[in-house]
Structure 1
């Protein structure tokens, strides 16, 4: 196990025990990282408190990433408590349910805006808040999906948002590299998370993935957590602007 004692990470996007954010938090905590974890709203508070209780020393913060005032408040609190940051994890994605059920051509203007605001712009806003605290350099990690590159039925506007997210990773990497801050995305295979439940054909996606992936199976949250630990560590100090696939090899297959 990597030893990252003395480093501080903030993880955004905790929903429940199936969250990729939770798997990443567990890996970072096991490596000795001082951990701050953010959840969205009061509805998720109880589950978040129960989970964080399993990680001694971890602190919990509420933050709605669509509200600039919330983001400003959280980073002020993080600065006061920790002084500096080394790792930011952005595990956030959302589109209104109707946008995932209807044909893509019926995507509404408001649904498009919400998907990009919550899923993409939030990475820019959080990176802007974190960068001044990364005085020793740092690693920013977000979560994407292969639907950014290829069409998956009913993934719809989230595929377009993930494509924008991956472009955002590259532009942020170029902007922040001079501060020794790396920005990367993990493209995970389909996983049964709270967010994924909004995809109408998730079970079909999981079966197709396992059938076609070179490893012949689906991906587990802990495996994504392991990749995030690598990107948070000094093993990846020359890696930035990249999309790192954790999908059992599915993306390399043409047929």
Structure 2
């Protein structure tokens, strides 16, 4: 097998073939790109004070991510035709590109938020109209999303970094226990379904997140600290948001 065949098998086909998207190779690469992206963000924007992670920055990120996750969930639930353009890593690429105005036109981030809110408000009715809604996940979503907005608006980054993982954990457990859903991560499926202990797995993830957040709080400088808080938050929030919306409509 040559290099092109290896790259196609482990990086291209899992996306365009709509199979399990994640394997040990692309998971490592996506994780590496995720970390490198935040390192570049720190050195290019935060360290030199071009960007401050404030309430409008956080709210822009949350609303923008929601806008892109909704059509992805429509694909997951079979409401719209599948397109690999909304699968990882292309989905994250569109989110990044759409977030560039916040980075390069930072002083207008507040007005960009207004635009994103209008788009989201127009998008929501098409997402929920005429579809059965699960009451319990919906109520939990409203509660947790409200807390998420509060923590973002008050710029409580330390708590937000932990809450992102809590958000994902709660909805992932709902998916496993109440809807018997499997993850796109094959390793995760093995740990959850073969050993039948999702609480242990998500508990370990939450513990690791808490450990990193506490270490960051007491041993790192403010600017770097905030970037790591943001990275921890988004690492939980991005998959957690998708899972929560699936739980609501499945």
Question: TM class, shorter-chain normalised?
Answer: under 0.3
Q: What TM-score does the superposition give when structure 2 sets the normalisation length? A: 0.26
Larger relative contact order, structure 1 or 2 (CA cutoff 8 Å, min sep 6) = 2
Structure possessing the higher radius of gyration over alpha carbons:
2
Q: What TM-score does the superposition give when structure 1 sets the normalisation length? A: 0.26
